[in-house]
Amino acid sequence: MAADKDNFVLVETGSNLGFARGCNIGAQRASGDILLFLNPDAVLAKGVASRLKASAKGLGDGIWAIGARIINPDGSEQRGGRRGELTPRSALVSFLGLDRFMPSIKGLHFEKDVLPDEIVPVPVVSGAAMLMPRRGFLQMGGFDERYFLHVEDIDICRKVRECGGTVWFEPRASIVHYGGTSQSDPYFVETHKALGFVKYFWKYYPGALERLTTMAMIVPIFAAIWGRITVIQLRHKIRLVTARRKAFARLRRMEARRAERHAIDRAATASSPPPVSETRPL
C-alpha cells in the first residue's frame, strides 16, 4: 500500500514499542490537521471517519477528543467505548462488580446506558477509535509512553479535560472491535492493563494515604483482571468442547441412520423371492 499510494506512509520501528509510543511516532510523522487513532484489530467501515470528521467541525481548533461507538462482531456495544472518571472508588466498584448489585453506585462503564441520538460529552472514550486535533495532541505531549498497552486513552482524556477541552462520544460512528488476535497472549495483554491502572493511580493520586490505597489495590486489580480473562477463556473452552460434542453426536446419528438404511436394504433383498425364468420353445 505504501508503494502504491502517495498518501500512505508506513513507519517501521523494528520492535514493539507499545501503543502509546507507536501512536506518538505516527502523530509526529502525520501532516494532516486531524488524527484518527485506530486499533489494528478494529474495522473502519465506510462513512465512519467522515461522520467523526463532520462532528469535529463544530468543536473548533481547541483541544478535544471524539470517541466512536465500539461494538462487538455481533453488533452489541463493547465495554470501554464510553466510560466515567477513573478513580480508586470507581475502579473498586467496577472490579468488585458492586454496580451490578447496587444500581445507585456508578461504575466505570456506560455501555448499558441508553444510547444517545447524537454526540454527547463523557469523561472517557476508547483509544481503539479516537479522533483528535493534531496540534492539540502534540501540545499536550501526546500519549504518556509509560503506558505500554491500555489506560493511555484514559490518561489522555483526563489531560484533555484538564487543559479545558471536552471529550465526546459519537454514537453514530460504530467501529467493530475484535479485541485481540489469536497470536496475542491474553495474560500478557491483561497484565499490562493492570499495570496501567497502577501507574495511573500512582501518577494522579500522589498523597501518602492515596499511595497506600494504590498499593492496597494492586492485588485486587490483578486478581480482578486475571480472573476475568480466566473466566472468558474457560467459557470459550466450554463452548468449543460443547460444539465438538454436538458435532460428534450429529456424526454418530448420521452413521447410525446410514447403517439402519443399509440393514433395511439388505433385509429387503434377502426376503424378496428369486426371479422365475420362463422357457419358451424355439
Residue 212 counted as domain residue: yes
Residue 205 counted as domain residue: yes
β-bridge pairing 82-83 and 124-125:
antiparallel
**189 and 165 belong to one structural domain:** no
pTM for the complete prediction?
0.77
C-alpha grid cell, residue 107: 461504575
For residue 280, the model assigns a pLDDT of 62
Residue 55 counted as domain residue: yes
**247 and 201 belong to one structural domain:** yes
**39 and 170 belong to one structural domain:** yes
**27 and 160 belong to one structural domain:** yes
Residue 211 counted as domain residue: yes
Cα separation, 153 vs 122, whole angstroms: 13
Lowest mean pLDDT among 5-14, 17-26, 89-98, 208-217: 89-98
For residue 171, the model assigns a pLDDT of 96
pLDDT tens digit sequence for 144-202: 999 998 999 999 999 999 999 999 999 999 999 987 655 667 778 888 888 888 899 99
Cβ proximity of 132 and 27 under 8 Å: no
The mean pLDDT value for 220-226 works out to: 78
**118 and 194 belong to one structural domain:** no
DSSP string, 147-161: -SSSSHHHHHHHHHH
**210 and 221 belong to one structural domain:** yes
**246 and 153 belong to one structural domain:** no
**56 and 97 belong to one structural domain:** yes
**209 and 170 belong to one structural domain:** no
**101 and 38 belong to one structural domain:** yes
Cβ-based burial of 52 (10 A; exposed 0-12, middle 13-18, buried ≥19): buried
Residue 248 counted as domain residue: yes
Please report which confidence band the pLDDT of residue 2 belongs to, taking 50, 70 and 90 as the band edges.
confident
For residue 67, the model assigns a pLDDT of 96
Containing structural domain, residue 34: 19-182
Q: State percent of the chain over pLDDT 70.
A: 93
SS (H, E, C) 176-210: EECCCCCCCCHHHHHHHHHHHHHHHHHHHCCCHHH
pLDDT at 265 over 60: yes
Please report which confidence band the pLDDT of residue 275 belongs to, taking 50, 70 and 90 as the band edges.
low
pLDDT at 140 over 80: yes
Say which residue, 7 or 134, is predicted with more confidence.
134
| Number of domains into which the chain is organized | 2
pLDDT tens digit sequence for 78-103: 988 999 999 888 887 777 777 777 66
